[in-house]
Structure 1
Amino acid sequence: MEAVMNNVTIEKAKTSKIKDVDFDNLSFGSIYTDHMLVCDYKNGQWQAPKVVPYQPITLDPSSKIFHYGQSIFEGMKAYKDESGSVWLFRPLENFKRLNKSAKRMAMPELPESYFMDGLTTLLHVDSDWIPQNAGSSLYIRPFMFASGNGFHASPADEYKFIICCAPSGSYFSGKVKVLIEKQYSRAANGGVGFAKTGGNYAGQFYPTRLAAEKGYQQVIWTDDNNHEFIEEAGAMNVFVRINDTLLTAPTNDRILDGITRKSILDIAEDEGIKTEIRKVSVKEVVDAAKNGSLKEMFGAGTAAVVSPISAFGYEGVDYDLPELKDSYASLLKKRITDIQYNRAEDKFGWRHEVV
């Protein structure tokens, strides 16, 4: 039985898996809702989006995703407040970044209505899957890949856009110990570092494994030129607090334009915290750690919002960061999550109600 909502066709699943889910013990991104959104690009245009039961994808072995890596994705969340209302956080920023990534990867850009109407419809259909437990949320993964066939090295002529969702518990990784990378690079000038494309993440796994063998949980990436300036922390943007100034690298074609990063900068300004968007050298961070002016380092991203760094290693030496009672990290995380869960005023207009 099919229905239509927001010009999106809906095919409901015959049975639901929700009764088998323990919402009090959710891991991150490993259990999936009953439905997904699917939209195909064929004959030079996007076809009408559909909500269908969650299911495997069948692809020809010659599909270009397997050979030339045209693949992009986004990460976002839906939140349910105490009254049961559902909210998104700055969803149009995810849509804009998806199309920015698509353009760089020679993929077709998606119409805004297909993204927003498709997402809203999917959330309505699977609204019971959005957790209401403290700190829990529905993780949303929009992604696009080349489904067209051919072994010739050229952009595909067909693509598939999908949104899948996974109810997830509170994401807390604890404070992490990181290694400042001196050999490997996450991205290069003129490359695709600013795009949210799968290969960027695949290329991180090996250096991160090497760091883990040395006792570190993550890598601080440095510039590809001389490894002189810090750029990102794992798959997150990175912030450094020296004395009472919060520093972060400017975005460029190597650094992802993080939505959490932008939000932190705006909230910091609202809190009267001094911020500087500039290159931050490894030497500056090491010197600050030695003289005691380095107060905090943390990653910023969708999953954890803020991930504090407890120590970093560089050239065989580990530097511990102080334990702060009133850290910028905890303040900024609370300000953002209070907006996301509709617990506080949203003076920035970031919260988007799903109605």
Structure 2
Amino acid sequence: MAISIVDLAGICVKNSNYLQTRRRINHLIDRYLSLEILVGNLIALPVQFNHPHQRPWEPIHWGEITLDQIVGVEPEIFLSLVANATEIEAPIQDYAAESMAYLAEIHSEMALFIGGAPATETRKRTISVWEKEERQHAPVFKKIYQKLVGEYPTITPNTVTGYQSSGDRLTDLHHHLHSRISTEWSATSIYLWLMAHATGELQKAIAQPLQDEVNHLAKFWGFSCWAFGDSYFNQVKFSTKNLVKLARYHSAERTDADHLLESITSFEELPHVIELGFTFMRVMVRMGTFNQELSPSFLSYLFQKSEAIAHD
């Protein structure tokens, strides 16, 4: 690879330092989480209620993905995160069913968008737009791993707890939406970091699931603001709280979580831990800019033909 090239994240050098990687992360956030993109993703949600359609992907040229397209990080760490992404993304149908259970009795349109419709005696199960988009992710990361290593990863798919009732369905849904936001925030941040440490066709391949996660993050965030009137502070507080819970839950199930944690927290790899923290922070700051556009009047206009949610 040349000393420096320009890719989706801006200027790329093989052995990038922390400041260079941080510039690449900022470049990617400006490219994929612009205010125009985030608002556009949210505006499309009520349209999806009546005219569901899947976001088209750009083609991935698998034969052009090579190990030397990993930049500025040890391949072992990069590959560990790719394998973990495969595990977490794998049980998408269970995630969809879980969300449908929380939404079905409160907002049928959003339930259909995320969870689809269950099978009946006369009808097959309807697969939701969200599931159709998300179910592409695990195979992509599995294939990326195979192209880089020469074999498919051995994975343990994440388990899904399903609907947990407290007796208050609105409160349950509120908490579930924060959990969904945390999941999308985490995926968006990790995929941005992976793209900052990739170039060429490898980087372009990761950009496809990234754009789905950004799309879903904007939709869940805006829907939650409309449904429950959360302030930005509360969105950050509850999403961060859920993120910590999710991290603990996922790490207990990961096939190599202890090894990965040991690798990325070693002194030599500390800059990468800081990079990841920086990425999570910058994504949330960008969501704060997005949140400023979500006035009650705008959200009411956006969802005026949608089912109302009572806040008693």
Q: Same fold (TM over 0.5)?
A: no
Higher percent of residues as helix: 2
The normalised TM-score by structure 2 is 0.28
Higher percent of residues as strand: 1
Please say which structure displays the higher CA radius of gyration. Answer: 1
